[in-house]
Structures are given as C-alpha cells and as structure tokens.
Chains A and B, each alone.
Chain A
Amino acid sequence: MTGAKMVTESLHEEGVDVVFGYPGGAIMNVYDEIYKQDNFQHILTRHEQAAIHAAEGYAKSTGKVGVAIVTSGPGFTNAVTGLADAYMDSIPLVVISGQVPTTIIGTDGFQEIDAIGISRPCTKHNYLINHIDDIARVMKEAFHIASTGRPGPVHVDIPKDITAQMGIFDYSKPVDLPTYKPTVNYNKRQLKKAMEAISKAKKPLLYVGGGAVLANCSEEIREFSKLTNIPAVETLMARGVMGHDNKMFFGMLGMHGEYAANMAAHETDLLISLGARFDDRVTGRLDQFAKKAKVIHIDIDPTSIDKLVDTNYPIVGDLKVTLKGMLEAASEMKFNDYSNWNDLLLEYREKQPLRFIDSTETIKPQWPIVRIGELLGDKAIVSTDVGQHQMWAAQFYPFSRPRQFVTSGGLGTMGFGLPAAMGVARGNPDKISINITGDGSILMNIQELMTCVESKLPVINVILNNNYLGMVRQWQTMFYGNRLSETVLDAQPNFQMLVEAFGGVGYKVKTKEEFDAALKDAVKQKKVAMIEVIVDRNEDVLPMVPNGHALNEMTLIGDTDA
C-alpha cells in the first residue's frame, strides 16, 4: 500500500474517530486517502492553528489523543502556536504535517520549512520520516509517546515522496522504545515517609494541579480528602477535580485565586502537591510561597520536582497509582484532627468570599458566567479564550467534574476558545459546548464560525464585551498610570450580523432578561451561536496578587475603589 494509506490506516488502527485539518500540496497524497476511507471523520477548519486547538479541545474534554493534519510550510507554521499551547498544558496530540519531497529538502523548495527544527522546543517529541518502512513504527510510537507519562503533542513530518511510495504495512509490532520508560510506580519507602509526614502535620493542604485531570484521579483525590479530612485547593488547570460543592474544597489559588485558597497556601505546614508545577501565576513571589510548609511533591515528570521549590518528599509516579497507594495506607493510619484547620479556612472564606458587586443598571461580566452555571451547570463544558473573562470563568463557574473546563493555561493563547469549543462539541455531542470569550480574543480565530456551520458544531460563544483588551487594560490602570496603550477596542464588528453572515445565530444583550432569553434560545437552536453581552467595562478581576507579591498580599474588592 502507499505511504499515504499507511498514515490513514495507522489512524484507523489507533481508533481515531475524528481528525481536524487543512489540505495543501505536500499532504495531498494523505488527503486523497482520507477521501477514500470512512473510518474517521475529517473536519476542515479554516486555519491550521484552529485545527490544533480543536484537537486540543477534543483531547482535553474526552481524554483521548487529538489528531490534526496540516500541509508543509505555512500550513505547519500556522500550527506551531497550537503545538506550543498543547506542550505547555500537556495535552496528548498527534500532529501530522506534509513536507516537500526528500529530494527537495534543503533546497528552499516551494512551501519548504525546517518543520522539525521549529517544532522541537514545543513538542514532547517529533519525527521526520525518511523511509516508508518507518511509517507504521513512527505512527505507533507517536500515539504511545503522546498519551503516556506526562502527555504532550508529538509531531510527525512526512515528505510527499514517502507518502507516494509503496510498501508493506505492519502495525502489529509492539512499541519498543528502550530510551523511553516513564516511571509509573512510586517508591514505596518515599510514600511511607510522606504518609507519616501527613499524619503528623497540623495544617496539611492538597494542592491539586492539571496532572490530576490528566491522570483521571479526581475520585481518588476526593476520597483521600474525605477520608483524612484534609482540605484542597485547585490550580486553573485542575478546575473541577474536587467539585464546586465539596465542603473540603477551598477554591482556586494563585494570582486571581480565592482569598481562602491563597491564605490556605500561605498558612499550611504541609503542602501536598498532586500533579501541580508551581507555576509563577500560582505561587506569586516564590520565596514567600507556602513559606511555613514542608513539601510533598507527587508528579510523573521528574523535572517538575525541585524545579522551582525544594521538595522534602519527592515522589515520581503516576498520580492515580500513587493515590491508590495513599488511600490504602491511609485506611490503616491515624491522622490528626484537622477540624481547627478547616474551621480557619471557613473563617477566611466567610471573611472574604469570592464575590462581585452586582448591579441593576449594567451587566457585570461575572454575572453571565454565574447565570450559565445556574441554567446549564453540569450539562455544559466551558471553554475560554484568554484574559479577564477566562479568570472570571475559572472563578465563578460551578464546575462539578474534571474535563469540564477547557482553557489555555500555560501558553495563554488568545484565539484558543472557539476552535477548542469545536473539539469539545465534536467529542461530547450530549453536552452543551460553551465558549466564554472576550471582544479581543474572539476575533483571533473568528473564521472558525464557518467550520462550526459546515460541520454542524453547535458552539455557543458568549462574548463579554467591554470594548477593551480587558486584562491588559486592568494592568495599565493598576500599574501604568491608566495609560491605555492600544487596549481600547472602539472599532467593533456587528457581532450579530457577523455570525449570521456565516450562517449561525446572533444575539446582542444588554439586560439580564435578554441574556436568559438568548441563552435559552441558543441552546434550542443547536447551531453555532454568538451572544454578545454588553458588560460593565471597568470591572477588574479580583482578588489579585500583584506581580512580585506573596499570595497573602491580595488586592481585594473595595481596595481599588479609593
């Protein structure tokens, strides 16, 4: 069979049911085979960046490997932002790009670029296939590497002459990678020491990161917290792991974290990190972070441990496997009574609950998020773009399970939301795919409305329109003497007409009643929708830990009014 058919057969063997992509010269042989098969669907995005984000949204919300196919040169370079995004957030992807024929490589051919040279620092691994006999092995390794250990994107670059050649396809050989063996099983002695430290601690805290979502161990964490009475906080990437109505859960921590969560991190004497990586947006001023605490750090990636903070109890292993070990150990152990500690956190929460001051005259930007939560709750999967709306969504949406929140955390990619929400819609037809976005971000991949219409992806985009690049505006107001350099978005499209021009449905709302009516109608319409909400444009995201400050030095509601 041809190399091109080997590619589509490999995808079939891996159980892929959808591929996002965009054809072009160097990848045409593969697209010809896609045309001839019906094992998987191909969704044509309108930009390669969106194909990768769609695959990310699909992967994040379903837990499966996302697949995207692009052509050489500009097709590939357009995809790079998506690869970098997936790399930063450890999302399992296999991205296939066409390359000019091997005979042309190195001659500055048409649409030639050193793709693997570019993707090296923003992928978990990458390949340039030099021989048709390597296709099956490389494809199998790519899926294996993407989905095991700390997941991540794998890029496979295939020259056009290789996809045209004929060869024998054998996908039966098991993956044999002597140089790649992720550590799954934890060190038992280390875990014993860590468990002893937990039993002796007075104010232990579960610091839950995105690894908990990737390892599918939400249940184990909830159970461990319940069994030991140890409270938990979540990072942005872990939203939903504990569940919003869990009484052991004290919110998201970090730059825009809840007061109680940040104070918990500040006060704890034993920080139990579960798949978190001490990102600067979480820790604030690093030398002040969890200053009173010893640290247990559990992570599948050894490089995460001791990268930023000194760990007292490092444990390398799969989080789910390790938590099962912890639960087993915990069932035979006695723990301190942490009720005073929990009471203290409750006091913090009562003193400074996560809140916003609602208005009867305008819609506060937080309100639609709360309202979507009330109306759709568990039925929605929420994607976001990047900026104020993203933080408000993280703060105010009542997430009840992991994989319910799809956001660009590490790279902070504006333009992520709409295509990611398409991947969510495709992967979760029984759920409602909501993209909470801003008037800045939405225009960064607006062409994807066409994809939504063509491929019947009923994404509901809720634009919190404040006529600003709001997060940058907030920093300019706070730290740059209110000089609003290039953040005032006075020029705006008519969003309602825009989405209707593509074939979707549009709403412009200025009141709460209009919002309710628009959302209910959009859910009923089952096609791509855009609800533009005119919101109070001067609202800030609070609490806020200013750059370079410790987590307990928060700017709170009321502090900025003076």
Chain B
Amino acid sequence: MHSDNHYYDKEITRQVISVVVLNENNALSRIVGLFSARGYNIDSLTVAPVEGSDYSRMTIVTTGDKRVISQIVKQLNKLIPILKVNEHKDVIEKDTVLMKFSIDNNLADIDVIAKTYHGSIQDVTDDAIIVSATDSAARIANFISVMQKYKPLEIVRSGIVAIER
C-alpha cells in the first residue's frame, strides 16, 4: 500500500486508556472479552463508579504498535454500553502497592524507604507490618524491587488510575 499520507510505525508503545461505561452486569466481561478475543494486552485494569452517574470509569494500560492501539480505541468505542474512550497523551497516573513484612525486619529502614516513595507503615500486628505506597507505576515497580531484600510475605498492587493533565 502507498503510505504517503500517514503510516503506522511498528514501534510498541505503552498506552493508558480510560473508558466511561454504563453500569451493567456485563460491561466488564465485554471489555475484557474484547481484549482476549482480539489478542490485545491488558497490563493493568482498574474500575470504579463515576460519582453521581450511571457510569463507571475503567483505566486500562495496554501495549501495542500504533495500529493496534488505534484498533483498541475504535473497538472499545464500538461496544454498545461505552460512552467515551480517552486515549491519554499526558497523564498523571498513580499505582498503589500494599506489602506485608515480618516484624523481625529493621522497621526504621523500611519506614524510611517507604517515605521516599510517598508511602508509610499502615498496620502493625504481633508478627507482621503492612506498608503501602502510592506513586507512578514505574516508581512502584522500583519500590517493590528495592523492598525485596526485606523478604515481603505478600505483595498486592492496585493497578493504575490516571487523569489527564
């Protein structure tokens, strides 16, 4: 094909997409089903109701080349209960992690590291502490990797929420 006007480069990029969708029983399965049926990636997916409306907002992080990303956006728009699909360009995004450690660790060290990632100790029991941190996805990944030396007992991540600047 001629491609003077525009062309799709094959570079794989990461894309944050937010979807405003009617609250109905099947909305989530429609969206997840679309991704699996067409072989698209979901790296992260979060969903919560939009205040004072019949809609929910989903934030999906996906990867693909430009053709794939453009198809994902169009295919999502085609689903009947979807009101709006935003292909974000300039976003603030946040990811939260909850990590559980044995109480035998150096708690002061953990607290200091957590603070560098906008986190803190959330809960202490007789044998464990729970730390949470909220930051960009890349920094949270970094935080998790740094904390490996304290041998986390459990790690739970929220997935990404994002808002356009």
- A residues near B, CB below 8 A? 116-117, 120-121, 124-126, 128, 130, 145, 177-180, 289-295, 301-303, 306-307, 309-310, 312-313
The distance from the CB of A362 to the nearest CB of chain B, in whole angstroms, is 44
Instruction: Return 22 A-B CB contacts under 8 Å, by A number.
Output: A120-B33, A124-B80, A126-B26, A128-B25, A128-B26, A145-B80, A179-B21, A289-B1, A294-B2, A294-B4, A294-B5, A295-B2, A302-B74, A302-B77, A303-B78, A306-B67, A306-B71, A307-B71, A310-B1, A310-B7, A312-B3, A312-B5
**Does chain A have a CB within 8 A of B83?**
yes
Cα-based distance from A1 to B37 in the complex (angstroms):
41
Residue on B nearest A269 in the bound complex, by CB: B2
Q: A291 and B1 in contact (CB under 8 A), knowing A120-B29, A125-B80?
A: yes
Residues on the A chain within 8 Å of B4, using CB: 294, 312
- Per-residue interface assignment for chain B, residues 59 to 72, with 1 indicating a CB less than 8 Å from any chain A CB and 0 otherwise: 00000000100110
A460 and B46 alpha carbons, distance in the complex (Å): 56
Whether the pair B30, A120 counts as a contact (CB closer than 8 A) is yes
Tell me the complex Cα distance, A310–B70, Å.
12
Residue of A nearest to B21 (CB): A179
Measured CA separation A295–B7 after assembly (Å): 12
Chain A nearest CB, measured from B7 CB (Å): 6
Q: Is B149 an interface residue (CB 8 A)?
A: no
Give 11 A-B pairs besides A303-B78, A312-B4 with Cβ atoms closer than 8 angstroms: A120-B30, A128-B25, A128-B26, A179-B21, A179-B82, A291-B1, A302-B74, A306-B71, A307-B71, A310-B8, A312-B2
In angstroms, Cα B1 to Cα A310, docked, is 7
Identity of the chain B residue whose Cβ is nearest the Cβ of A177 in the assembled complex: B80
The 8 A-B pairs with the shortest beta carbon distances in the complex, nearest first, are A125-B80, A303-B74, A312-B5, A179-B83, A294-B2, A302-B74, A180-B80, A309-B1
A-chain residues with CB within 8 Å of residue B158 when the two chains form the complex: none
Closest residue of chain A to B72 (Cβ to Cβ) is A303
Tally of contacts, chain A with chain B, CB under 8 A: 60
With a CB–CB cut-off of 8 A, which chain B residues contact A120?
Answer: 26, 29-30, 33
Whether, in the assembled complex, B75 has its beta carbon less than 8 Å from a beta carbon of chain A, the answer is: yes
User: Measured between alpha carbons, how far is A288 from B113 in the docked complex, in Å?
Assistant: 56
Interface residues of B in 1-56 (CB under 8 A from A): 1-8, 21-22, 25-26, 29-30, 33, 37
Structural contact, A303 and B22, CB atoms closer than 8 A: no
Cα-based distance from A312 to B22 in the complex (angstroms): 34
Q: Find out whether the CB atom of B26 lies under 8 angstroms from the CB atom of A295.
A: no
CA distance A121 to B22 in the complex (A): 18
Question: Bound state CA distance, A288 and B21, in angstroms?
Answer: 40
Across the interface, do A121 and B1 meet the contact criterion of CB distance under 8 Å?
no
Provide the residues of chain A in CB contact with B81, threshold 8 Å: 179
The answer to whether A295 touches B1 (Cβ under 8 A) is yes
Q: Binary interface profile of B, 76-90, with partner A (CB < 8 Å = 1, else 0)?
A: 011011110000000
Do A117 and B2 contact each other (CB < 8 Å), given the known contacts A179-B80, A303-B78? no
Which among B33, B75, B78, B80 has the highest number of chain A CB atoms within 10 Å?
B80
Closest chain-A Cβ to B67's Cβ sits at a distance in Å of 7
Chain A residues with CB under 8 A of B80: 124-125, 145, 177, 179-180
Instruction: Give the shortest distance, in Å, between B127 (CB) and chain A (any CB).
Output: 39
User: Which of A128, A145, A177, A302 has its CB near the most chain B CB atoms (within 10 A)?
Assistant: A302
Known: A291-B1, A310-B3, A312-B5. A121 touches B33 (CB 8 A): yes
Docked complex Cα distance between A293 and B1 (Å): 6
* Residues from chain B with Cβ under 8 Å of A121 in the complex: 33, 37
Contacts A294-B2, A310-B3, A312-B5 hold; do A116 and B26 have CB atoms under 8 A apart?
A: yes
Minimum CB–CB distance from B19 to chain A (whole Å) comes to 11
Cα A291 to Cα B2 with chains together (Å): 7
A316 nearest in chain B by CB position:
B74
Q: How near does chain A come to B106, taking the closest CB pair, in angstroms? A: 49
Q: In the assembled complex, how far is the CB of residue A293 from the closest CB belonging to chain B, in whole angstroms? A: 7
Shortest CB-to-CB span from A124 to chain B, Å, is 7
B77 neighbours in A (Cβ, 8 Å): 302
Interchain nearest-CB distance for B32 vs A (Å): 10
Give the shortest distance, in Å, between B46 (CB) and chain A (any CB).
20
Smallest distance from the beta carbon of B6 to chain A beta carbons, Å? Answer: 7
A291 contact set on B, CB distance < 8 A:
1
Q: Contact between A303 and B29 (Cβ–Cβ < 8 Å)?
A: no
Q: Which B residues touch A293, using CB under 8 A?
A: 1-2
Chain A residues closer than 8 Å to B30, beta-carbon distance: 120
Residues of A within 8 A of B6 (CB): 310, 312
Residue on A nearest B26 in the bound complex, by CB: A116
Known pairs A120-B33, A309-B1; A303 contacts B75 (CB<8 A): yes
Task: Give every chain A residue within 8 A of B22 (Cβ-Cβ).
Answer: 179
Q: Find the B residue at minimum CB distance from A309.
A: B1
Residues of B within 8 A of A180 (CB): 80
Known: A301-B78, A302-B74, A306-B70. A178 touches B83 (CB 8 A): yes
The CA of A309 and the CA of B5, in the complex, are separated in Å by 13
- How distant is the Cα of A440 from the Cα of B159 in the complex, in angstroms? 52
Q: Which one of A177, A179, A289, A295 has the greatest number of beta carbons of chain B within 10 Å?
A: A179
- Complex Cα distance, B26 from A145, in Å, reads 17
